[in-house]
Amino acid sequence: METKRNVLIVTDGAESTGNMAGQIGAALRDHQVVSLTAADLAGTEILPAEVYFLGCEEPNPDSFAYLTEVLRHINLVGRSCGVFSSRSEGAIQYLSGIVHDSELTLNPKPLFADDLAAGVLQQWVQDVINPVRYDGGATMGQDFNLDAYIRKVPDFPKKGVLFYDITSILTEPRAFAYCIDRMVSMYQDKQIAAVAAIEARGFLFAAPLANRLGIPLILIRKKGKLPGKTLSQKYQLEYAEAEIEIHPDDVPAGKRVLLLDDLIATGGTLRAARELITACGAVVPEIFGVVGLPFLHYAAVLGDTPVHTLIEYHAE
């Protein structure tokens, strides 16, 4: 099944708005253009980070039948943003009854077919789409201040330790959406066959990523938590020994598996998890963490496996 990701431009099916959407999509590059026809929707999952609607000035029953189906898909996965012409009040009223937990905005600066000269088009993008994307829309730019949403807790779990708490990301939808959107952008073109996540907070970030990418999620848990056939790996903590397990039958042998956790500290658990995955016959091309603490020297523990994070802290 084909999966459409990132930003979609949805038209009302008319040839004129379809041509406009094509030119806008070419100019924006990261947008995918979908014209509302039965062929577009058949066998396609709609998994956007944000959506822009062009046209839809009149509530044409045929056009809105397809548009309704698209919006129902969007409701399952997150937010949408409508960019309509200034004469689209009827469309706004119609769609508001369908879309829930989504933001529909009336475009104050309509774009018409005879306005598509390069300079006009780029100015329209700057005036209309960019403010929606970066000032409260569903997808935020890479300059989003993630640090502001990470709680720092001194003297936890013991005196002298500064704890970087990601639960504050989860309580702020904008910050959580930013993390997932960035992760999708990073890995959607890397031929990842599955995501393997470390118990327990790693599950929270890996699950929506795997869903958005349309690939399996593999759970790596503490010993005794997984039923059935398991493979285990022991590793050394500071003052004790720990053990993690995986379902070997869940690991796609010979395929690329992204290893993910919420925070990368000393790297010991991730190294053990990597050994589990490779013992099952898969390849770990890189390791991802939302937060990285390189001052704890995880690079030396994880060796040649590349490590990527959304934010790093270089001291407690």
Active site residues per annotation: 201, 238
The residues, ordered by sequence, that sit 6+ positions from 27 with a Cβ below 8 Å of its Cβ are: 118, 121, 122, 125
Give the bridge partners for 260, in sequence order.
197, 288
Contact of 235 with 268, CB cutoff 8 Å: yes
- DSSP assignment of 223-272, as one string? TTSS-SS-EEEEEE-SSSEEEEEE-GGGS-TTSBEEEEEEEESS-HHHHH
Using CA atoms, how far apart are residues 73 and 302, in angstroms rounded to an integer? Answer: 40
Using CA atoms, how far apart are residues 158 and 151, in angstroms rounded to an integer? Answer: 16
Ramachandran angles phi, psi of 99, nearest 5°: -90, 135
Look at the block and give the residue holding tokens 């997984």: 226
Using CA atoms, how far apart are residues 125 and 244, in angstroms rounded to an integer? Answer: 49
**297: alpha, beta or left, given left = phi > 0 and alpha = psi -120 to 50?**
left
Comparing CA positions, the residue from 22, 24, 23 lying closest to residue 35 is 22
In one-letter notation, the amino acid at residue 114 is D
Cα 219 to its chain centre, rounded Å, is 19
Strands of the chain, DSSP E: 2-4, 7-11, 31-35, 44-46, 50-54, 81-83, 103-105, 151-154, 162-165, 194-198, 217-222, 231-236, 241-246, 257-264, 287-292, 307-312
The residues, ordered by sequence, that sit 6+ positions from 303 with a Cβ below 8 Å of its Cβ are: 271
Using CA atoms, how far apart are residues 88 and 26, in angstroms rounded to an integer? Answer: 24
